């Protein structure tokens, strides 16, 4: 397979940029075409409401969009998309399927098979576990070691175990209806964890230790610091189970 910049569609896009794209102005594009938003946007109806995909604010026109699609096809994006949806092992560095799409498949939806097994039942089993656990925290049913409800949740992770949850939390914050406050710790610098817990009470704080492998040094170091802070107040190690939970694919660890 040739490099991306050697492909014909890429070269065509480069020419388009040099002759057309460099002079495109969004304000002018909308002024010239009052229907630009309708032309370059899509709406998808879902059980949870309408999802809007708006790409009208990009520096594109029909000619540029055509070449972008040509580049996708020249890179076999459609083939890779089909392989991803069917559970093939397209993550070649880890020799595993890319299954985040399975999270969006309804219980009675299309099968997604990996090594001949439909993974959808397992996906929904874990989703149900997550919902049961989170509702126990939010409702106050889950108690800390002194019998008080959880008021603060601290996510300890790095990379995808931090940025994704943080982004979702910030994006959905305006729609939150009660529940505990959320905090995120990712920096191995001890100042980050110490400043975060300085505002919290050990009696009402829950820590989520998020690590795909549970070998990430930054996460383990911060988790140990959090545990030390907690035990300074709680004393007995048996109380840890009510205030620390693990989020990982490494179940043996």
Domains of the chain in start order, with CATH, are 4-118 (3.40.50.10490), 140-235+242-247 (3.40.50.10490)
Region 173-192: mean pLDDT is 93
Q: Which tens digits make up the pLDDT trace of 51-93?
A: 999 999 999 999 999 999 999 999 999 999 999 988 899 998 9
Task: Give the pLDDT score at 95.
Answer: 87
Going by their DSSP bridges, the two strands 117-118 and 113-114 should be labelled as: antiparallel
pLDDT tier at 48, thresholds 50, 70, 90: confident
Largest CA distance in the chain: 71
Kindly tell me if the per-residue pLDDT of 109 is higher than 70: yes
Task: Give the pLDDT score at 2.
Answer: 64
Q: Which two tokens stand for residue 59?
A: 């520096």
Kindly tell me if the per-residue pLDDT of 1 is higher than 60: no
Q: Which two tokens stand for residue 55?
A: 């790409």
Rounded Cα gap, residues 63 and 81, in angstroms: 24
Rounded Cα gap, residues 193 and 225, in angstroms: 7
Kindly tell me if the per-residue pLDDT of 206 is higher than 70: yes
Map residue 215 onto helix, strand or coil. Answer: coil
Please give the mean pLDDT across all residues of the chain: 93
Region 148-165: mean pLDDT is 96
Query: Mean pLDDT lowest for which of 3-7, 69-73, 180-184?
Result: 3-7
Kindly tell me if the per-residue pLDDT of 209 is higher than 90: yes
Kindly tell me if the per-residue pLDDT of 168 is higher than 60: yes
Strands (DSSP E) found in the chain: 41-46, 49-54, 113-114, 117-118, 152-156, 181-185, 205-210, 244-247
Region 225-230: mean pLDDT is 97
Percent of the chain residues topping a pLDDT of 70: 99
Task: Give the pLDDT score at 187.
Answer: 93
- H/E element holding 221? helix 217-234
């Amino acid at each position: 397979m040739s490099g991306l910049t050697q492909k014909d569609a890429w070269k065509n896009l480069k020419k388009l940029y040099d002759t057309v794209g460099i002079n495109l102005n969004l304000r002018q594009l909308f002024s010239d075409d009052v229907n630009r938003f309708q032309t370059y946007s899509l709406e998808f109806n879902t059980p949870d409401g309408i999802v809007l995909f708006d790409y009208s604010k990009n520096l594109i026109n029909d000619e540029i969009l055509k070449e972008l699609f040509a580049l996708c096809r020249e890179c076999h994006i459609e083939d890779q998309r089909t392989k991803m949806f069917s559970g093939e092992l397209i993550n070649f560095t880890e020799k595993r399927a890319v299954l985040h799409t399975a999270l969006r498949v309804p219980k009675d939806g299309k099968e997604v098979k990996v090594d001949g097994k439909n993974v959808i039942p397992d996906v929904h089993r874990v989703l149900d576990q997550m919902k049961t656990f989170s509702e126990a925290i939010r409702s106050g049913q889950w108690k800390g070691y002194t019998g008080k409800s959880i008021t603060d949740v601290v996510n300890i992770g790095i990379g995808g175990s931090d940025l994704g949850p943080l982004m979702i939390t910030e994006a959905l914050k305006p729609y939150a209806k009660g529940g505990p406050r959320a905090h995120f710790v990712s920096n191995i610098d001890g100042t980050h964890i110490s400043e975060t817990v300085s505002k919290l009470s050990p009696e009402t704080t829950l820590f989520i230790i998020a690590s795909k492998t549970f070998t990430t040094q930054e996460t383990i170091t911060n988790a140990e610091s959090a545990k030390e802070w907690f035990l300074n107040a709680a004393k007995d190690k048996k109380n840890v189970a009510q205030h620390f939970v693990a989020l990982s694919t490494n179940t043996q660890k």
